[in-house]
Structure 1
């Protein structure tokens, strides 16, 4: 049975190449050139046109081409019987941990300030804190958040976590649920958002919550742009409560020309590159799920539509 790849604005040729290298006989199609669609039972998707999966009457499964699935779950027209999966990949996890550690250490040592000082040829050392004097709060204790928390703890940071439900991590206190959110925010000298995007977590980085962080806290968002209320972030930074922010995800990508984030001296922007799925690494689990879907076996990395992850 064929696999179709449905994606807008993304070069899918590396995925086709990786799939064919692993299984040369596989019929790999690319939407909209994937007729007849009644033959298709398995789809790979990223930012698909909403409603398109109604055109596949025999579809059994949709796999995200990354760890996130909000781009799939926001489509109300996906039939209930279609199972949705996501990618869990060691490379993806390690890349995210490396990137977030780099942002944390960059902030800790004030490297942005020194880069700005180059423009005015200003030689001015700044005081800095040591790792053991700083608490990093990780919002979202899934696969990525757990690895980030452990990595930061391993180099001396005090680390706390927050999740929608109770989680246990060795030597790391994890707060759970809305009733413990305020207490968690109060711990975070550096806040890292790694939450899945759900109706409950959308806009969670708003003015009220940002003001609950310690004075001069720093915000890192590597989850989804919709977690952050952008105007609120600017207000709280300009009021002096936050030291700044590093943002790898934005509500509109690419970030539009003229957006205030581009020129704000305390906000750093990167183009959604914290952790990019490697097709060669990820296709192994995709093909295993393809085989499982054909034989009726349980799928790996199945997503709960109710939870949103």
Structure 2
């Protein structure tokens, strides 16, 4: 099985040993005749000259396996006719759970209310978790993992997805109840993908539904939130906060107003990384499925965009 590693060169040293260990039967290459490849392992940033990869010469490729959970940078490529699979990695899910849980706990406990300035602020005791309402927007693999973990800690958790598909022990609102899901959220966790339907989903009107003092944690995609609207709502809701890990432009420009806003925390897209040690096994499984003409795992729906 001949596989092209269609990813930035900086990833090669970490990924090549992991992929070869997980799938010893592959001939993993960094270049070659496109028609000779049975599959591609893809990550954004390839080709490194900034051009769009032309998939049309890869006439014998049976699958394009993304190393990222998000596929918005490739799914609209008009030359991509091969099956595309997104990465659903247990290590990535665990990383997202840890990130969202950590920041949700910080917001819940009001850790930023206690500057070490010699002032004794007794009386600002947080409620117990059962009395704190959390909404998770996006109930895919990552959203379900985050919602279940927070529910297990005792929080009052509601999920929202377009379909409203049931999740064990979590109340899930469907598409038409988005406003209800937002208006109850003392902590709003955003884990939706970037699609035509989700861009600017959190506009000024919807952000204005948040309760006083709400915290927004966006670890999904930067396009979900209207940035100007968020800044306006933070100014109108002076105890609200935002923890933002994803942005429309990355790296976030040094002059962006998020950097200097007193109630915005910027993290540099670190919520969940695809880890070669765990993700290589998922990629290997899909490569074998492709070569055996078996159903692929996490096949992308081109119309839905994920």
What is the SS of the residue equivalent to 1:153? Answer: helix
Q: Show structure 1 runs of 5+ residues with no match.
A: none
State how many pairs are aligned.
299
Q: How does 1:232-243 map to 2 (within 5 A)?
A: 232-240=229-237, 243=240
What is the SS of the residue equivalent to 1:73? Answer: coil
Q: How does 1:22-33 map to 2 (within 5 A)?
A: 22-24=22-24, 26-30=26-30
The equivalent of 1:246 in structure 2 is: 243
Structure 1 position 173, deviation (Å)? 1.4
Aligned partners of 2:41, 2:118: CA distance in 1, in Å? 51
Aligned partners of 2:207, 2:38: CA distance in 1, in Å? 45
Work out which structure has the larger RCO, using CA pairs closer than 8 Å and 6 or more positions apart in sequence: 2
Aligned partners of 2:259, 2:193: CA distance in 1, in Å? 25
Which of 203, 217, 224 is matched with 1:220 structurally? 217
Q: How does 1:98-109 map to 2 (within 5 A)?
A: 98-109=98-109
From the superposition, tell whether residues 251 and 12 of structure 1 become closer, same or farther in structure 2 (CA, over 3 Å).
farther
Q: Tell me if the contact between 2:245 and 2:270 (Cα under 8 Å) persists in the aligned partners.
A: yes
Q: Tell me if the contact between 1:236 and 1:242 (Cα under 8 Å) persists in the aligned partners.
A: no
Q: Tell me if the contact between 2:90 and 2:279 (Cα under 8 Å) persists in the aligned partners.
A: no
Q: How does 1:133-152 map to 2 (within 5 A)?
A: 133-152=131-150
The equivalent of 1:70 in structure 2 is: 72
Aligned partners of 1:77, 1:124: CA distance in 2, in Å? 63
Q: How does 1:165-244 map to 2 (within 5 A)?
A: 165-177=163-175, 179-240=176-237, 243-244=240-241
Q: Tell me if the contact between 1:216 and 1:241 (Cα under 8 Å) persists in the aligned partners.
A: yes
Which of 252, 259, 281 is matched with 1:255 structurally? 252
Q: Tell me if the contact between 1:44 and 1:64 (Cα under 8 Å) persists in the aligned partners.
A: yes
After superposition, the C-alpha distances for 1:248-297 in whole angstroms (9 at most, x for unaligned) are: 11111111112111111100011111111111211112112112212221
Aligned partners of 1:298, 1:53: CA distance in 2, in Å? 21
Q: Show structure 2 runs of 5+ residues with no match.
A: none
Q: Tell me if the contact between 2:40 and 2:65 (Cα under 8 Å) persists in the aligned partners.
A: yes
Aligned partners of 1:10, 1:242: CA distance in 2, in Å? 42
Q: Which runs of 4+ in 1 moved over 4 A?
A: none
What is the SS of the residue equivalent to 2:102? Answer: helix
Aligned partners of 1:54, 1:183: CA distance in 2, in Å? 45
Which of 46, 52, 55 is matched with 2:54 structurally? 52
Q: TM-score, normalised by structure 2?
A: 0.91
- Asked if residue 302 in structure 1 is aligned to residue 299 in structure 2, the reply is yes
Aligned partners of 1:74, 1:66: CA distance in 2, in Å? 15
From the superposition, tell whether residues 25 and 168 of structure 1 become closer, same or farther in structure 2 (CA, over 3 Å).
closer
Aligned partners of 1:241, 1:141: CA distance in 2, in Å? 29
